[in-house]
Amino acid sequence: MAEHLASIFGTEKDRVNCPFYFKIGACRHGDRCSRLHNRPTISPTLLLSNMYQRPDMITPGVDAQGQPIDPRKIQEHFEDFYEDIFEELSKFGEIESLNVCDNLADHMIGNVYVQFREEDQAAAALQALQGRFYSGRPIIADFSPVTDFREATCRQYEENSCNRGGYCNFMHVKVIGRELRRKLFGRHRRYRGSRSRSRSASPRHRREREYREKSRDRDRDDHRDRNGRRPDRDRYDRESGSRRKHGSPRRSRSPPPAREGSEERRARIEQWNREREEKV
């Protein structure tokens, strides 16, 4: 029974928990929904409800005076808002993703989802946003259950084939330009790369580093200079207790005496015996 409940949690078959709130953090029924909205007490994702105000809020492509708006102006307006929000929220930590809904339904229009790298960063941002205003409107922020935006976004919208239009119940995420994305998110990737190099290396990288160090040691031991001496021996001459002064001539050591054969040793012993008998 427990496995069955776990398998249907957050799906259409779940008659207790609201699947739309679980997937997109919002429900068109709001508090009147017959299913539960399990609001998280902590999450890396924040939902800023109805925050983005499109310049064509009343009729798409037309301003409040009924005049058509150039699509490029609409995109510029959105990217200015996006960059402004990103710069403000990035003060509290590294942003993994920032998504703004292009939906027209009341429970999704202008929703901003910001996902931080760490939960405590999201908590700090939530606390700082309480009681603040943006463009004369209060900011309504809360933790969101959404952590995987692949399940929350409308795939048909990404393929330009959604027949529900702006009233789709899945996210229609507005897209920013490539240059702006590189500008905002590229610096965090560079910072993360430099920070990751300062962390302890993985076991595989440790093994590779140890192998390289051992290889260098072997090469250093095998390498000899033109005088036939190893660099390690030169360092020993400079640093050991019997080190010679810098610039002093090197002492030449006499070669060890040649080892005598067995016949030579017997002849020497006989000679010692004769000399001893003569003295007696």
> 179 lies in which domain range?
1-189
Is 93 inside any structural domain?
yes
Return the closest-CA partner of residue 116 out of 140, 138, 143.
143
Hey, is 248 helix, strand or coil?
A: coil
Percent of the chain whose pLDDT exceeds 70: 66
Torsion of CA 182, 184, 185, 188, to 10 degrees: 120
Is 29 inside any structural domain?
yes
Which helix (H) or strand (E) is 235 found in, with range? helix 231-239
Is 173 inside any structural domain?
yes
Is 185 inside any structural domain?
yes
Lowest mean pLDDT among 100-114, 170-184, 220-234: 220-234
Is 224 inside any structural domain?
no
**Which contacts qualify for 28-33: CB closer than 8 Å, 24 or more apart?**
28/105, 28/106, 28/107, 28/169, 30/107
**Is 60 exceeded by the pLDDT of residue 10?**
no
102-113 burial, b for 16+ CB within 10 Å, e for fewer? bbbbebbbbbbb
Lowest mean pLDDT among 88-102, 110-124, 256-270: 256-270
Which helix (H) or strand (E) is 113 found in, with range? strand 112-116
Hey, is 99 helix, strand or coil?
A: strand
Terminal-residue alpha carbon distance, the chain: 113
If you write DSSP's letter for every residue of 131-157 in order, what string do you get? T-EETTEE--EEE-S---HHHHB-HHH
**Is 50 exceeded by the pLDDT of residue 153?**
yes
What span, in angstroms and rounded, lies between the C-alpha atoms of 114 and 144?
Answer: 9
**Is 80 exceeded by the pLDDT of residue 115?**
yes
Number of domains, the chain: 1
- Span 263-274, average pLDDT: 73
Return the closest-CA partner of residue 233 out of 214, 213, 253.
253
Which helix (H) or strand (E) is 84 found in, with range? helix 71-89
In sequence order, what are the beta bridge partners of 113? 47, 99
Average model confidence (pLDDT) across the chain: 77
Is 79 inside any structural domain?
yes
* CATH number of the structural domain spanning residue 95: 3.30.70.330
Is 76 inside any structural domain?
yes
Is 230 inside any structural domain?
no
pLDDT in tens, 222-246: 445 444 554 444 443 444 444 444 4
What span, in angstroms and rounded, lies between the C-alpha atoms of 185 and 101?
Answer: 19
Q: What is the Cβ-side half-sphere exposure of residue 201, based on CA atoms within 13 angstroms?
A: 8
Q: What angle do CA 237, 239, 242 make, to 5 degrees?
A: 60
